[in-house]
Amino acid sequence: MTSTSEIIIKSEALEQNVKFVRSLLDKSTILSAVIKGNAYGHGTNIIVPALESLGVNHFSVYSSAEARIAFEVKSPKSKIMIMGFIYKDDYQWVIENNIEFFVSCPEEFKRVVETINRIQKKAIIHIDLETGMNRTGLGIAQLKKIIPQIKANENLLRIRGISSHFAGAESIANHSRIKKQFSVFKRRIKLLNENGISSEIKHIASSAATINYPETRLDLVRVGILLYGYWPTAETFIHYIHRRKDKTDPLRRALRWCTEVALVKTVPEGEFIGYGLSFQAQRTIKIMIIPVGYSNGYSRSLSNNGHVIVNGYIAPIVGAVNMNMIICEITDLPEIKVGDKVTLIGKQDENEISFTSFAEMNNSLNYEILARLPENIIRKLV
Ligand SMILES: *Cc1c(COP(=O)(O)O)cnc(C)c1O
């Protein structure tokens, strides 16, 4: 073992999640699986082939660096789309390998023009529009500036898409902002069309918009979190389930993070456990040591707060999360031995530490906890 814990990815869960997302889409809508952040911590090298075997053949990444990793493991017929940053030396590689990418600013477009003219190869671009998120994307002034440049280089550009991104479709609090963004998106597309620029497809929806705003699914949806089995927010789940007869969660968490008990011991009443004074034994208690800490992606904010599952029972964390270990109380559980199975995230027997509840405990988002799982934890597909 080259890590003290392992991440198990369940192909059955992925299959169910893909099926669910597909059930929402028209036949003609492309499902692009978002695999940025090491496939939300699940492992790009595992997730890409697993999703390919389920018929997914379009993958969205953030950067050219992530594209290179996905490119190594994808099948030849799958497509990669870069939604964000391309390192300047990577444009040639991206274009030569038919990798699709967003054009989000005029400076970036200049590099594209320079590269396609130098290597005489078509770039497959998505014109990314600023519609109100105020992050990336071409604003109206920039758009007007690059329209003539696009036209001047038309023979070396394949305008695959026009895209944008919503600023928080997972919360009803953003409802009017989302609606406004969508109408700006449609207006800007019209402007492009009137100037003789049209694209093969249009896309704007991520997981949350796919659920909450069906009219925004258009030709392609960029879905990440749902495929891994999590709702963008509890609110999105409630919004979905509210309209259904069947109230069971259609998603399956694909990931289980597990390890084993490293050590078991008894601590006398009155003693403090671990660093400092944050936990004092109020009676003689039994504890176990788990060989995972914040250096392994387990958040320090779960000190005296989080739970793990051991042999199917929930055990609370006592004291601080250390760099390489955590301590849990097991006083009232049936005998726990060194080597017994521990689940940090996911299901074990009847109990589940779900990322959603874990995230709430941790006061952070599913996205963050998943994406922070270190790359060096061993991952296995089952
Ligand atoms: C991350 C991301 C998505 C996917 O978001 P999910 O909520 O995980 O579905 C889609 N589009 C862009 C531009 C993104 O950055």
The per-residue pLDDT for range 32-70, each reduced to its tens digit, is 999 999 999 999 999 999 999 999 999 999 999 999 999
* Angstrom distances, CA of residue 19 to CA of 49, 182, 365: 16, 27, 24
pLDDT of res. 324: 96
Domain boundaries of the chain, sorted by first residue: 11-241, 255-353
- Supply the DSSP string of 218-283, one letter for each residue: TTEEEE-HHHHT--SSHHHHHHHHHT-S--S------EEEEEE--EEEEE-TT-B-SSTTS-B-SS
Long-range Cβ pairs for the range 335-341 (8 Å, 24+) = 336/261, 336/264, 336/286, 336/288, 336/310, 336/311, 337/261, 337/264, 338/260, 338/261, 338/262, 338/263, 338/264, 339/260, 339/261, 340/260, 340/261, 340/310, 340/311, 341/258, 341/260, 341/310, 341/311
Q: Give the pLDDT band of residue 145 (cuts 50, 70, 90).
A: very high
Confirm or reject: Cβ of 222 under 6 Å from ligand 1. yes
Structure confidence at residue 348 (pLDDT): 73
- 35 alpha carbon to ligand 1 midpoint, in Å? 9
The answer to whether the CB of 33 is under 6 A from ligand 1 is no
CA of residue 329 to ligand 1 center, whole Å: 38
DSSP letter (8 states) at residue 214: G
**pTM of the predicted model as reported, rounded to 2 decimal places:** 0.93
Model pLDDT for residues 123-139, shown as the tens digit of each residue:
999 999 999 888 889 99
pLDDT band at 363 (very low <50, low <70, confident <90, very high): very low
Cα four-point dihedral sign 73, 76, 78, 82 = positive
The pLDDT of residue 306: 87
Q: Give the distance (Å) from ligand 1 centre to CA of residue 373.
A: 18
Is the minimum distance from the CB of 233 to ligand 1 under 6 angstroms? no
- Ligand 1 pocket, mutate which of 62, 101, 206, 228 (most atoms under 8 A from CB): 206
The string of pLDDT tens digits covering residues 318-349 is 999 999 999 999 999 999 999 999 999 887 76
Q: What is the CATH number of domain 11-241?
A: 3.20.20.10
Could you give the angle at which helices 106-119 and 140-152 cross, rounded to 10 degrees? 10
pLDDT of residue 133: 86
The pLDDT confidence band at residue 146, using thresholds 50, 70 and 90, is very high
Name the 3-class secondary structure at 69.
Answer: helix
pLDDT confidence band for 368 (50 / 70 / 90): confident
Q: pLDDT for 8-23, tens place per residue?
A: 999 999 999 999 999 9
* Ligand 1 atom at minimal distance to the Cα of residue 232: 7
For residue 140, report the distance from its CA to the centre of ligand 1, in Å: 23
Q: Is the CB of 206 under 6 A from ligand 1?
A: yes
- Taking the centre of ligand 1 as the mean of its atom positions, its distance from the CA of residue 93, in whole angstroms, is 24
Verify whether ligand 1 is closer than 6 Å to residue 232 (CB atom): yes
Distance CA 181, CA 206 (A): 14
Average pLDDT, the chain: 93
Distance CA 217, CA 185 (A): 13
Fold classification of 255-353 is Lyase, Ornithine Decarboxylase; Chain A, domain 1 (2.40.37)
Q: Is 207 in the pocket of ligand 1 (CB under 6 A)?
A: yes
